[in-house]
Structure 1
Amino acid sequence: MSTAAVNSRELAHPDRAEIRLEGVLHALSDPMRLRIVRDLAAAEQELACATFELPVSKSTTTHHFRVLRESGVIQQAYRGTAKMSELRRADLEELFPGLLEVILEAAELQAGRG
């Protein structure tokens, strides 16, 4: 990982070249993580982690964000006291053209089925 955590306020992220398809698919296979990604995609901007209301504990929510970050699906950074997250759309599109959009469309269809 190129962006090594220098202190507790900096978060490590994989370089674009280090993002692996199997890691992205694993990260997106969990319903809570897919929900986070759908919310970020809909927002089209970075969002504070605290804005996500997930039906899991805070520690489990933290775990889900870490899996998404370490797989290269999201980028996170501290802005003041808030940890902000955003999709790595450009990186994912460069590596796996169309994958994110197809997954988001499929998730929408699935959500519509109830």
Structure 2
Amino acid sequence: MTIELTKSDDTLVKIFKALADPTRIEIIRTLYNKDKEMACGEVGEICAISKSNASYHFRTLREAGLITVRKDAQTRYTKINKAAFAAFLPGFLESL
């Protein structure tokens, strides 16, 4: 599921709810600092979160349109959706 890049109130609410958690901020910070696609398990290890907890946080960020996730065999890879940040929160990533 991806969001459209329009500034509707519903979209903004999803984005701000997704960013209202320290763990999800840490996930975004990790992805931004690495500046590459990463395995979800690798991000979970860096952020010291369990697989089930990481799955919940990745889903929340994905549904808000802040990250993209692709599956290759049994591994899921994620990266920041820079277009969403540029459209809704310009300068946010640089503030991390």
Q: Shorter-normalised TM-score: what interval?
A: 0.7 to 0.9
How far has the Cα of 1:78 moved from its partner? 0.8
Alignment check: 8 A CA contact 2:39 2:75 kept: yes
Q: CA deviation at 1:15?
A: 2.9
1:45 corresponds to 2:36: yes
1:95: Cα distance to partner? 3.3
Matched, 1:75 2:68: yes
Which runs of 5 or more residues in structure 1 are unaligned? 1-11, 105-114
Structure 2 length-normalised TM: 0.80
- Which residue is 2:24 aligned to? 33
Whole-Å separation in 2 of the counterparts to 1:99 and 1:22: 16
Deviation, 1:31, is 1.0
Q: For 1:21-72, what per-residue CA distance to the aligned partner results, in whole angstroms no more than 9, with x for missing partners?
A: 2221211121111111000001111110010214443211110000000011
Contact kept in structure 1, 2:31 and 2:38, CA below 8 Å: yes
- TM-score, normalised by the number of residues in structure 1: 0.69
SS at the partner of 1:16?
coil
Q: Which residue of 2 aligns with 1:13?
A: 2
Q: In the alignment, which residue of structure 2 is the partner of 1:99?
A: 92
Aligned-partner SS, 2:79: strand
Letter in 2 for 1:80: A
Question: Quick one: which of 77, 80, 92 aligns to 1:87?
Answer: 80
**Unaligned runs of at least 5 residues, structure 2:** none
* CA–CA separation in structure 2 for the residues paired with 1:89 and 1:81: 25
What's the C-alpha RMSD, in Å, of the aligned pairs?
2.0
Work out the number of aligned pairs and report it.
Answer: 92
